[in-house]
Amino acid sequence: RVNGQRLWDSLMAMAQFGATKKGGCNRLALSDEDKLARDLFCQWCNEAGCTVTIDQFGNIFAKRKGKNKGLPSVATGSHLDTQPTGGKFDGVFGVLSGLEVLRTLNEHNIETDAPFEFTVWTNEEGSRFQPAMQGSGVFVGRFDLETEWNKKDINGVCLRDELERIGYLGSEPIGQRNIGAFFEAHIEQGPILEKQEQQVGIVRLGQGIRWYDVYATGQESHSGTTPMGFRKDALAASCEIITEIEKLANNVEHAVATTGFLQVSPNSRNTIAGSVKFSVDLRNPYPDVLERMHDEFNQLCNDVSLNRKVDIKVDHFWYFAPVEFKASQDVKQAAEKLGYTHMDIVAGAGHDACYMSDIVPSGMVFTPCENGISHNEIENTTLEQCEAGANVLLHTMLEASQR
Amino acid sequence: RVNGQRLWDSLMAMAQFGATKKGGCNRLALSDEDKLARDLFCQWCNEAGCTVTIDQFGNIFAKRKGKNKGLPSVATGSHLDTQPTGGKFDGVFGVLSGLEVLRTLNEHNIETDAPFEFTVWTNEEGSRFQPAMQGSGVFVGRFDLETEWNKKDINGVCLRDELERIGYLGSEPIGQRNIGAFFEAHIEQGPILEKQEQQVGIVRLGQGIRWYDVYATGQESHSGTTPMGFRKDALAASCEIITEIEKLANNVEHAVATTGFLQVSPNSRNTIAGSVKFSVDLRNPYPDVLERMHDEFNQLCNDVSLNRKVDIKVDHFWYFAPVEFKASQDVKQAAEKLGYTHMDIVAGAGHDACYMSDIVPSGMVFTPCENGISHNEIENTTLEQCEAGANVLLHTMLEASQR
Ligand SMILES: NC(=O)NCCC(=O)O
Ligand SMILES: NC(=O)NCCC(=O)O
């Protein structure tokens, strides 16, 4: 069994990097704060006797030897980056559950057959750079390294330059590690486990995601002298779309639709907006439903564009298909063996394990999250809940290493 | 008669400060570009023999002596600041028409009874700092000097510090100048003169304006895991309001309603927006209609707030009552004497002359503006149109100086 207090202490130590006044974290991918969090993780893994390797996309791999060198590793991990108003647990809990597994094995002098690897994936959040799960996506070959290296943040800063700047542009070629299975512990980020009073969730499915950048281009003009009928107002057009996509999701079971990012130009109160860029995030567990939402959204943009004589360009830059976790049975067995109450669950968010399941059997264990709130500085959970998740992770990995 | 070519050359010389690729100007109030434009104006006035004075709010007064020192000045002027995507004429045309009047008087050795003053008012646009017509508003006592000095731009930079930094924090106490009448030439910024094929517009009325800052506060939360019904989405609430205020104006004659400024926090695509700040600009020539719009807007914010459990705070920080120009008869007589086609017109925008009319008889002359487009880099007019406006200004001021 893991040491819950030690896990909790590590979580609190990590939370200092980018700590916000409201008790959360602002630790955007490849920021100075992300670097400090990465440095501490590497230091801890080195102290625990691991060999730490960084790949060309800044993904971190800490390897603990197994009895049988030739066997592929059993791997775990998650991410250390957060949202601008993120919490202390999203991602970090998965990374440090791995660390706690590592420390527990060392403490009990347990030698496993297969090697174990403890990972940190670059830019899982997709907040500073798009898309999300970028590091694991590059690793499994979903995304092209050069393309992702060249991605720019909102200030035009290039991802590769940031990797270099914080010292995490590694030399190991992408996707070269010998990994046989991947498991990830994560807070649920939703309200279901708490409501159902279950200690852990066995993730069967990750829902589908479509991400868009929408560019509305109208014509700048004076707010006082331009009659309503003569306007080509890029912001009014954008607001109409945002209001309508919400309705589109309201009528469809399990569907969510969100605009979280919006930028106006010239952003002056007495100039009608000439251009607006905004994000759209559509999700549904069923591919056909998500495709229907996609079609309706495109139709909506067309209609608004025609009605308002505002040009609307839709860049659908990311489709994340629903994922089935093939190793979820391993997670379930571990939860049962340990006597935790558990239930099957669907992940509302994307996770690195989703991309890892492209190449190896993967599984996820979810733990409850206070009031289902995540991507918020008040995101919360308890020592006991974290401990249960890490215990399930430990026993899932031990089981997998014996095959 | 003024020298149209000289006026045009001055306009093009000024347009270099903050020149944009699309042929417009980005010369926000108290920016480096604004300083350069001010410096050139002061240099030109000095060369033309004026005494230049700067007051404590950065307003510039260039005085040309009259035969009778005791008489109050006949003044003219406008502003040199622009919108972020502004044109070459809005404001600048009024300032440089004054300069052209000055140069014409010198050229013909004309001595006027009353002194003449040529002015530049600080932050007329209201884009970087609010409200608009801030310099003239402070001058006439509508706004308190200390309060306006402490206004901050979007980056938290303080107005008084910027005045000091660019060397325009003058020592002359506010409102101390002996001015007897004020006239302002300005491009119409709307389509009416062009459509009616009139050379100049005699401004009878400036319409009423109400400016608001709206603060929507919801709850940050994950875009993938938060069901639609559980959301407190500050951006969705804001977009609903923006879409609705537009409808409110669509149904009311002469009414306009605009949101040109909007800022989202944390502005991350997979976090539901926790807070949004946006502007609302409502205008109508009739005070009672504008008040009804104000009431409906407040009701709308209340309704959206209740429906969505998003807190909505409305800060109605500026009411600009409709203004009648008492000296419009002088402008009309000058236009008639010069044989220009003319019509009476309502100003859709606010102007420094509106505030000056609080304290002295004031008048405005409008000139046509291509396709009615202003607050846009493609804002345009012709040498002949500018020349006509400056001629009317010259003869209006000469007439007024004889009383
Ligand atoms: N776990 C998590 O919040 N991932 C971010 C990607 C997403 O938006 O689902
Ligand atoms: N003339 C002009 O554009 N003034 C700016 C203030 C307003 O919004 O009317």
Q: Flag whether residue A373 sits within 8 Å of chain B, measured between CB atoms.
A: yes
> What is the percent of chain A with per-residue pLDDT over 70, rounded to a whole number?
100
- Confirm or reject contact between B401 and chain A (CB < 8 A): no
Average model confidence (pLDDT) across chain B: 97
The pLDDT of residue A251:
84
DSSP notation for B183-221: EEEEE--SSHHHHHT-SEEEEEEE-EEEEEEEEEE---E
Task: Check whether A237 has a pLDDT greater than 90.
Answer: yes
CB contact (8 A) between residue A220 and residue B377? yes
pLDDT band at B251 (very low <50, low <70, confident <90, very high): confident
For the segment A143-148, the average pLDDT, to the nearest whole number, is 98
- Our answer on whether the CB atom of A90 is closer than 6 Å to any ligand 1 atom is yes
Q: Cβ(B124) to ligand 2 under 6 A?
A: yes
Interval between CA A281 and ligand 1 midpoint (Å): 11
Which residue in A239, A268, A281 is closest to B83 by CB distance?
Answer: A268
> Per-residue pLDDT averaged across A11-29, rounded?
98
Backbone angles phi, psi at B56, to 5 degrees: -65, -10
Q: What is the pLDDT of residue A1?
A: 96
Q: What is the pLDDT of residue A164?
A: 98
Model pLDDT for residues A157-215, shown as the tens digit of each residue = 999 999 999 999 999 999 999 999 999 999 999 999 999 999 999 999 999 999 999 99
pLDDT band at B392; cut points 50, 70, 90: very high
Which 15-54 residues of chain B touch chain A by CB within 8 A?
none
Q: Which SS3 state, helix, strand or coil, does residue B244 take?
A: helix
Is residue B351 within 6 Å of ligand 2 at its C-beta?
A: yes
Rounded mean pLDDT of chain A?
A: 97
Residues of A in contact with B188 (CB under 8 A): 225
Helix (H) or strand (E) holding B262: strand B262-265
* pLDDT tops 90 at residue B262: yes
Q: Are A236 and B257 within 8 A, CB to CB?
A: no
Give me the residues of A, 301-340, that contact B with CB < 8 A: none
* pLDDT tens-place string over residues B28-78: 999 999 999 999 999 999 999 999 999 999 999 999 999 998 899 999 999
Is the pTM of the predicted complex or chain greater than 0.85?
Answer: yes
Interface contact B371, partner A, CB < 8 A: no
pLDDT of residue B69: 85
What confidence tens digit (pLDDT) does each residue in B362-383 have? 999 999 999 999 999 999 999 9
pLDDT at A402: 87
Predicted local distance difference test score (pLDDT) of residue B403: 77
For residue B46, which of B29, B60, B32, B36 has the smallest C-alpha distance?
Answer: B60
Residue B269 to residue A250, Cβ atoms within 8 A: no
Give the chain A residue whose CA is nearest to the CA of B260: A269
pLDDT at position A5, please? 98
Would you state the pLDDT for residue A321? 95
The band of A403, judged by pLDDT with boundaries at 50, 70 and 90, is confident
A residues 92-121 closer than 8 Å to B (CB): none
Please determine, for residue A63, whether its predicted confidence score (pLDDT) is greater than 90: yes
Best mutation site among B134, B256, B269 for testing chain A: the one with the most A CBs within 10 Å? B269
